[in-house]
């Protein structure tokens, strides 16, 4: 991912950039060597790029290359990391070997990220920011470049409610950093792009069964291949998941005779149904996906009746996406895409009532978002530049938000809107010399609802010596107020005052170095400042651009790979996120995150062990709560995988929460519970058969 986003140059950055540019220009003039292409010069010190070597080397030269000795042979197959951002990648191989079951599990292992769960949805925290009650609206989640965040809540889903079955994931690319200069809204903290497998990866038919604790099971049926006599390739997959959930959840806050002594009995069930299809033919890709997920909620959040089996949410999302991608030659690429999304949500809240004879009634949320959109992008190389330009436009045909009591029928909210928004962007990556490149970009977005936003970004990538990289990054991103914040009548007052988008300015310095013996070390220092954070004013009960947040921190990553296949990945993150006005630490924001993932072959290369774990330091609960902190904790997961135990059959055994750690996440404003306890140890067996 090599777009750079530049949003409004900060004066210090401007001077710094100018100074660097002056030095670079001086260097170029003195060396008398202005590069006219991105191909490595002879004195290059950039890490190996096979693509460049393929262009440069003649056949006879190939016969002169010394073969590396075995100990350093399995060097990282790094894409030359010229991206003006911090990029982390998790591959399908790691998903299999570490037993990741959801996108949340995958993200939890990555540096700087942490997830929390309240038995309804899974929430992502980035660099210390995870406001309880948000729906991952400050991270843009995409599937093959298709935006998944809706326009009502800006929500993206990362638990079982996520639209793609993790078995279909080829890799997950997380671009950490403000990326609105390319992607516009939602790319506030970064972008998560899930790249799905291609029909060629599936090759035939595959069935999988995953059975585990809490009576959970998942069945998947997938198939892929090419249609004989044509250039079409097809991938189809369907899966069904069901879990009884934790059958016995005790909440002392509800401990009374009328409330089953505080025990939510079999109220944690979940069901999900996923469908995915992809058809490719040369430059065209048609893909479609669908998810329908139901969850019973045991926490009695939002004033619902405790232990009531009727309290549930339903989330559905379906989309169709047609993409045309054409490479003209090595210098130009055109992409055109058009899509349609339908995202709906329903929740049934059984609650108390003075108005009904039974003393109860059912309150319902129903929302629907229908969006049609199109985008186009051109990438053009010219001399030492790589230009990226594009635009997109989205029409929200339906933005419905309803909340009502069913009997007697009474509407608290009945929002029916339509709106349009769009953006244009331009970026250039310029190789100033063989080891210095600069990236600058800007995007202009227009929203019918609030007006416009500009998102610029600037990055400097420098390779001071072999295998080393220094990046200086600055970016500005925004989050548009969503339909819910704009139009939902929280009180009986008229709709809230005009809301502006939230803004984030991020400054980041990254050092990355590859050492002999296949070590990679990366140091990342960051500082971000958020303005105009949209918050619900507890007195007026209206949304307003009120808060500011400031964070400082750093990430250290060490990775080691061995030719035998052993891989060790570790990271430590320090994050100090504060409310900039009061100086108070944010809630649900652990100061320290430490992660470790070890993958190793056992005995033969067909048996693999994947051990991964996280340490999360304590975090503050919401203000005013009795329990001040969610305690620090350490959770580890172990997976054993045998590939081809018989021809075409893989078996894996996963033990989650190996040490049966008791831990809890901070509860949101909707729950009476200050902390939401999580599950203990669980065991899963997965069989995959290919034929």
Partner 1 sequence: MILLALGLRALPAPPPPKPLAEHQIKALYLFNFAKYVEWPKFAFPATNAPFIIGIKGNPDIVRDLSEITRGKLLKNRLIHIVSIETMQDHKGCQMIFIEGTDFPGIIHSLTGPSPKPVLTVGACDTFLNGGGIINFLKKDNTLRMEINLKNTHLAGLAVSSKLLAVATVKNNESNQPPP
The contact set with partner 1 (CB under 8 A) reads 27, 30-33, 42-43, 48, 50-51, 53-54, 57, 59-68, 73-75, 77, 79, 200, 203, 226, 229, 231, 282, 327, 329-330, 333
Of 57 and 493, which CB lies nearer to partner 1 in the complex structure?
A: 57
Contact yes or no for 387/427 (Cβ under 8 A):
yes
Q: How far is the CB of 231 from partner 1 (least distance, A)?
A: 6
Contact 662, 632 (CB under 8 A): no
Query: Strand, helix or coil at 202?
Result: helix
Least separation in angstroms between CB 326 and partner 1: 10
d(CA 436, CA 447): 37
∠ at Cα 447 (441, 453), nearest 5°?
A: 35
310 vs 326, beta carbon nearer partner 1? 326
Question: Which token pair is 665?
Answer: 């996440």
CB-nearer residue toward partner 1: 64 or 354: 64
**At 238, is the secondary structure helix, strand, or coil?**
strand
Q: Smallest distance from the beta carbon of 331 to partner 1, in angstroms?
A: 10
Q: Which residues contact residue 318 at a Cβ distance below 8 angstroms, ignoring those fewer than 6 apart?
A: 288, 289, 290, 291, 341, 342
CB 290 within 8 A of CB 318: yes
Measured from the CB of residue 59, what is the shortest distance to partner 1 in angstroms?
5
What's the sign of the alpha-carbon dihedral 183, 187, 188, 190?
A: negative
Cβ-based burial of 73 (10 A; exposed 0-12, middle 13-18, buried ≥19): exposed
* Cα–Cα separations (whole angstroms), residue 453 to 178, 187, 501: 14, 13, 8
CB of 465 to partner 1, least distance (A): 14
Dist. CA 386–CA 3, nearest whole Å = 10
Is residue 667 within 8 Å of 675, Cβ to Cβ?
yes
Taking the least distance from each CB to partner 1, the nearer of 283 and 414 is: 283
Tell me the closest approach of the beta carbon of residue 98 to partner 1, in angstroms: 19
Residue among 18 and 27 whose Cβ is closer to partner 1: 27
Nearer CB in complex with partner 1: 30/409: 30
The closest alpha carbon to 116, from 639, 622, 654, belongs to 622
CB of 548 to partner 1, least distance (A): 43
Smaller CB distance to partner 1: residue 53 or 609?
53
Residue for token digits 């585990």?
212
CB of 282 to partner 1, least distance (A): 7
Cα atoms in the Cβ-side hemisphere of radius 13 Å centred on 376 = 2
Closer residue to partner 1 in complex, CB, 31/256: 31
Taking the least distance from each CB to partner 1, the nearer of 427 and 449 is 427
Q: Among residues 60 and 582, whose Cβ is nearest to partner 1?
A: 60
Q: Which is nearer to partner 1, 66 or 252 (CB)?
A: 66
Tokens describing residue 534: 């949209």
Task: Compare residues 51 and 452 and give the one whose CB is closer to partner 1.
Answer: 51
Which residue lies nearer to partner 1 by CB, 73 or 581?
Answer: 73
Angle 619-625-629 (CA atoms, 0-180°, nearest 5)? 20
Closest contact distance (angstroms) between CB of 208 and partner 1 is 18
For 297-312, the DSSP string reads --S--TTBPTT-TT-E
d(CA 93, CA 239): 20
Which one, of 284, 389, 272, lies nearest residue 338 by Cα?
284
Burial bucket for residue 605 (CB in 10 Å: 0-12, 13-18, 19+): exposed
Closest contact distance (angstroms) between CB of 69 and partner 1 is 8
Task: Retrieve residue 168's tokens.
Answer: 């279909």
CA distances from 175 to 110, 266, 340, 458 (A): 11, 39, 25, 15
Instruction: Pull the structure tokens for residue 289.
Output: 């996906």
At 312, give phi and psi (nearest 5°). Answer: -155, 160
Pick the closer one to partner 1 by CB: 361 or 641: 641
Name which of 381 and 398 has its Cβ closer to partner 1: 381
User: Residue 466 Cβ, how far from partner 1 at the closest point, in Å?
Assistant: 9
Neighbours of 234 (CB within 10 A): 17
Residue with smaller CB distance to partner 1, 203 or 398: 203
Cβ of residue 42: shortest distance to partner 1, in angstroms?
6
Give the whole-angstrom CA distance, residue 201 versus residue 222. 11
Residue 647 preceded by cis peptide, ω within 30 = no
DSSP state of 73: T
Smallest gap from Cβ 171 to partner 1, in A, equals 12
Upper half-sphere CA count for residue 177 (Cβ side, 13 Å): 33
- Least separation in angstroms between residue 49's CB and partner 1 is 8
Q: In the complex, what is the shortest distance from the CB of residue 438 to partner 1, in angstroms, rounded to a whole number?
A: 19
Structure tokens given for 634? 């350490």
Q: Which two tokens stand for residue 311?
A: 């309290």
Tell which residue, 452, 458, 530, 415, has the closest CA to residue 138. 530
Closest approach of Cβ 432 to partner 1, in Å?
14
């Amino acid at each position: 991912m090599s777009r750079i986003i530049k949003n409004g140059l900060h004066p210090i950055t401007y001077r710094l950039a100018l100074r660097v540019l002056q030095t670079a220009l001086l260097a170029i003039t003195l060396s008398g060597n202005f590069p006219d292409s991105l191909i490595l010069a002879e004195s290059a010190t950039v890490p190996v790029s096979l693509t460049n070597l393929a262009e440069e080397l003649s056949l006879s030269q190939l016969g002169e290359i010394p073969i590396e000795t075995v100990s350093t042979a399995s060097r990282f197959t790094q894409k030359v990391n010229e991206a003006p951002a911090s990029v982390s990648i998790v591959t399908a191989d790691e998903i299999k070997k570490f037993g990741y079951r959801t996108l949340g599990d995958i993200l939890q292992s990555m540096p700087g990220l942490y997830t929390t769960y309240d038995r309804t949805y899974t929430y992502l925290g980035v660099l210390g920011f995870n406001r309880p009650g948000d729906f991952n609206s400050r991270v843009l989640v995409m599937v093959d470049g298709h935006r998944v965040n809706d326009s009502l809540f800006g929500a993206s889903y990362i638990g079982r409610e996520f639209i793609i079955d993790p078995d279909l994931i080829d890799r997950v690319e997380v671009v950490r950093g403000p990326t609105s200069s390319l992607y516009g809204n939602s790319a506030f903290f970064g972008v998560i792009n899930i790249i799905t497998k291609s029909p060629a990866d599936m090759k035939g038919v595959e069935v999988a069964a995953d059975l585990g604790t809490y009576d959970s099971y998942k069945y998947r049926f997938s198939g892929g291949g090419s249609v004989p006599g044509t250039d079409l390739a097809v991938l189809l997959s369907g899966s069904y998941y069901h879990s009884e959930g934790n059958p016995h959840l005790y909440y002392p806050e509800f401990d009374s005779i009328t409330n089953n002594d505080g025990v939510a009995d079999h109220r944690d069930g979940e069901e999900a149904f996923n469908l995915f299809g992809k058809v490719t033919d040369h430059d065209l890709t048609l893909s479609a996906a669908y998810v329908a997920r139901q969850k019973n909620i045991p926490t009695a959040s939002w004033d619902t009746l405790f232990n009531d089996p009727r309290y549930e949410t339903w989330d559905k999302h379906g989309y169709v996406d047609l993409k045309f991608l054409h490479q003209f030659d090595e210098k130009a690429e055109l992409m055109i895409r058009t899509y349609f999304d339908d995202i709906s949500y329903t929740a049934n809240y059984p609650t108390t009532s003075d108005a009904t004879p039974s003393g109860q009634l059912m309150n319902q949320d129903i929302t629907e978002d229908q969006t049609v959109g199109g985008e186009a992008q051109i990438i053009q190389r010219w001399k030492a530049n790589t230009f990226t330009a594009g635009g997109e436009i989205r029409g929200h045909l339906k933005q419905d938000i309803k909340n009502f009591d069913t009997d007697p029928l009474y509407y608290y909210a009945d929002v029916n809107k339509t709106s349009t928004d769009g953006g244009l962007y331009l970026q250039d990556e310029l190789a100033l010399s063989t080891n210095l490149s600069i990236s600058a970009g800007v995007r202009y977005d227009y929203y019918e609802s609030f007006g416009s936003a500009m998102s610029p970004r600037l990055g400097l990538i420098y390779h001071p010596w072999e295998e080393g990289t220094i990046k200086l990054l600055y970016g500005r991103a925004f989050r548009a107020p969503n339909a819910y914040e704009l139009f939902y009548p929280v009180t009986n007052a008229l709709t809230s005052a005009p809301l502006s988008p939230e803004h984030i300015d991020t400054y980041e310095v990254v050092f990355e170095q590859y050492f002999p013996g296949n070590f990679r070390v990366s140091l990342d220092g960051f500082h971000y400042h958020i303005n105009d954070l949209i918050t619900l004013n507890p007195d007026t009960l209206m949304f307003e651009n009120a808060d500011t947040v400031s964070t400082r921190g750093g990430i250290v990553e060490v990775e080691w790979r061995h030719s035998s296949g052993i891989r060790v990945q570790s990271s430590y993150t320090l994050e100090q996120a504060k409310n900039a006005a009061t100086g108070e630490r944010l809630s649900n924001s652990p100061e320290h995150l430490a992660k470790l993932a070890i993958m190793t072959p056992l005995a033969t290369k067909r048996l693999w062990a994947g051990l991964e774990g996280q340490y999360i330091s304590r975090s503050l609960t919401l203000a005013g709560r009795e329990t001040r902190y969610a305690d620090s904790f350490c959770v580890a997961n172990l997976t054993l995988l045998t590939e081809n135990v018989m021809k075409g059959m893989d078996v894996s055994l996963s033990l989650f929460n190996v040490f049966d750690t008791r831990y809890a996440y901070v509860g949101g404003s909707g729950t009476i519970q200050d902390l939401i306890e999580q599950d203990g140890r669980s065991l899963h067996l997965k069989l995959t058969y290919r034929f």
